[in-house]
Structure formats: C-alpha cells, structure tokens
Amino acid sequence: MGTKIFIPKMGANIDYVEIGKIFVKKGDFVKRGQILFEIVTDKATFEIEADQEGLILALNCKEGDEIRVLENIGFIGLSGEEIPELTKKFEEKEIVNPVEEIRVKATPIARKLAKERNINLEVAFRGSDKIIQEEDIIYYLNRLNNETGLIKKEKISIKKKKEIENLLWARDCIISSVVIQVSLEKINKKINEINGDINVSIGDFVSYNAGRIIGNFPKINAFYQSEEINYYSSVNLGMAVSIDDELIVLVIKNADKMSLSEFLSDFKRKIMDLIKKEIKIEDLQGGTFTISDLSSRGVFLFNPVINIKQSAILGICSPIETISRDDSGKLFLDKKLNLILAFDHRVIDGKYALDFLNELKLALED
C-alpha cells in the first residue's frame, strides 16, 4: 500500500487548515522532500513535502479546500499499486429538470448554499455540463448583487477565521487600559549610548525593556480561566508585525533572559524567515504577553486587543510634540511617546498596570 499524504498536526489549537497552492497532480512522479502543496493556517503558510519517492496515486483536494488536521488526502506509491478509497469531498447528484430534461450536477455544499439563497440550480445553470461548486454559486450571487447595486461578497480565508476567533475571545474579558507618556529625547539618548553597531529602533528598545521587567509583574504574564489566574513560568514576548497586509505575531522565547543584541538578532531572524515563508510553527506559538508597535505609523492613540490566554498587551504609539518645562522653569518643545497597557481587569487592577508602566518608563528614561 502506498504512503499516505496527510495534513500534519500544526499545533494544539489548529484543527483545520486551508489548501494553498498545489504543485503536483495525480500521476506525477515525485522525489522524497519535493514540495507537494502549501497549507495555510491562521498563523502562516507552510509547505508539505513528499515522505517518499514515487507516483502520486491519488490527491483528493483542490486549492481553497478546508481540510481537517491529520486527514488522509492522498497516496504516493508504485504504478498499479492498490490504495484504499479516500473520503470523497463530494458526491455527484443528478437532478432532472422535469420541463426540459436538463441534467444538472452539483456538490452538496453548493446545493445547500443555493437552497439558503433561494436559487433554482436548474434555472441558474441551465445548459451547464460541469459539476456546480460552491464558488460557482458565490460567483452567481456576486453577479446578481452587482446587477442590483449591492457590493460583492468575498469568502474569508481560514487564517482570517482563526484571527477572528482569537479576537472574539477578548469579549469575555473585562478590559481596561492605562496610558503614560515617556520622553523621546531621553529614549534616543539611551539608544545612542548603546555600544557597538547595533541598529535599534524605538519600538525595539521599548519592547526589549518591557520583556526585561515583566518578570517583576507576574500578573502581566498570566491569564484568567475558570475563576483562576494561571501564571506562566517563562516570558515569551509576542511581537505583532504586518507582512503582506496580514498581522502575524512572532514569539521571542525567554525574552527576559536575553541581552539586547540577542533579542534583536532573534527578532530579525524570525522576520526574515517570515518574509521568505520559512517561519517555523514554534516561532508563532506560546506567547505570554504581546506588544503592538505602531511607533512608525503616525498613530498617537489606539486600542490594542488582548490575545487569547493572555492578560495584557502593550501598545507603542508614534511620537507627539508636547510643551514641557525644564528644571529652571523654562518652557521647551519635547517629543513624547504614549505607551498603552490594555489589561484584563479580572487579573490586573489599574494600580498594578500603572506600576508596570512606571517601571518601564524608568527603564527607558533613566
């Protein structure tokens, strides 16, 4: 019997993936390690490789399919080798139009969607000799909507679905937030004092120092569940980045134990891996506290959203010009950053959150 082609387990919270680009078809000869297709999760895109050399005896999926993790979708083996029957993605059903005797074929999903939207398949697809798919129904609806002046509909990806699920978790929180300002001049002075040729941005410097002090505030590095506060044993800093208009959170493990150069090296390596689509699933999992850095985006204030199984998130805003007074009482123009800590009030109260921000301010300015 041939070797199974299946969707590997990608993480504890990932049950389904979406099939991305497919590079092979039934009958193709492949070598061990050759890329068969891509899979898309809520975190990233991964490549599935052949486990052995041989012919693609079966490949029961198409681009855009949503597949359950560990599901068997194909086989690799020798020509003529018998394989078990795969689970059918759909069953063809024939409907005979009683008036014109036109035979229309459609998948169960397409029929369900057509029924929900009150579409008569025999009328809408009269004369079609293809099997009507879900996307055919969506295209037909989009065409109708455009004809009636409505905007078209677009099916969201599994990655976006998972992101929405994670964000909806925040609705169960009791969310509050506090904001403080830190001096950009003092931050830049400390950055300039750093020895060596390390290229440090404002966001990098704030994030590193936040990770360094978070161990002093265990409730920041925790989450609420079933009337209990669950504390993490390590500080794994989630760094939210935007790549190709998608928000991805890269996780820096044990950030509180790193030097600045180690922190920056690890973070930049993960960004390059993400750009090259070589990111590992473990670099996207296990975050205990998240930072959303908008310091270069011209954003002066925003509401960062707490990630699932976390109690807080730090938002870094862009510099704003303020008027300050020096020790002699003279007024001067000073640029400052707003730092926002959004937190789950079931775990953290306002004073605790402010104490964390004040210690972070001290680390950045003094």
pLDDT of residue 247: 80
Tell me if the pTM is above 0.85: no
Q: If 0-12 CB within 10 Å is exposed, 13-18 middle and 19+ buried, where does residue 308 land? A: middle
**Token code pair at residue 260:** 């600045």
* CATH class of the domain at 3-77: mainly beta
What is the residue extent of each domain of the chain?
3-77, 93-147, 173-365
Grade residue 276 by pLDDT with cuts at 50, 70 and 90: confident
pLDDT of residue 100: 41
Q: Name the residue with higher pLDDT: 179 or 162.
A: 179
Q: Name the residue with higher pLDDT: 167 or 99.
A: 167
Distance between CA 238 and CA 361 in Å, rounded? Answer: 20
| Matching residue, tokens 């104490």 | 355
Topology (CATH level 3) of domain 93-147: Dihydrolipoamide Transferase (4.10.320)
CB atoms under 10 Å from CB of 206, counted, come to: 22
Distance between CA 274 and CA 171 in Å, rounded? Answer: 29
- The dihedral over CA atoms of 149, 155, 160, 162, expressed in degrees to the nearest 10, equals 130
Topology (CATH level 3) of domain 173-365: Chloramphenicol Acetyltransferase (3.30.559)
pLDDT tens for residues 85-102? 654 443 333 434 333 444
pLDDT of residue 86: 56
Distance between CA 315 and CA 317 in Å, rounded? Answer: 6
Question: 208: phi > 0 → left, psi -120 to 50 → alpha, else beta; which?
Answer: alpha
Contact 256, 217 (CB under 8 A): no
Question: 294: phi > 0 → left, psi -120 to 50 → alpha, else beta; which?
Answer: alpha
Percent of the chain exceeding pLDDT 70 equals 86
pLDDT of residue 99: 38
Residue 197 DSSP class = S
Grade residue 82 by pLDDT with cuts at 50, 70 and 90: confident
pLDDT tens for residues 284-317? 889 999 999 999 888 989 999 998 899 999 999 9
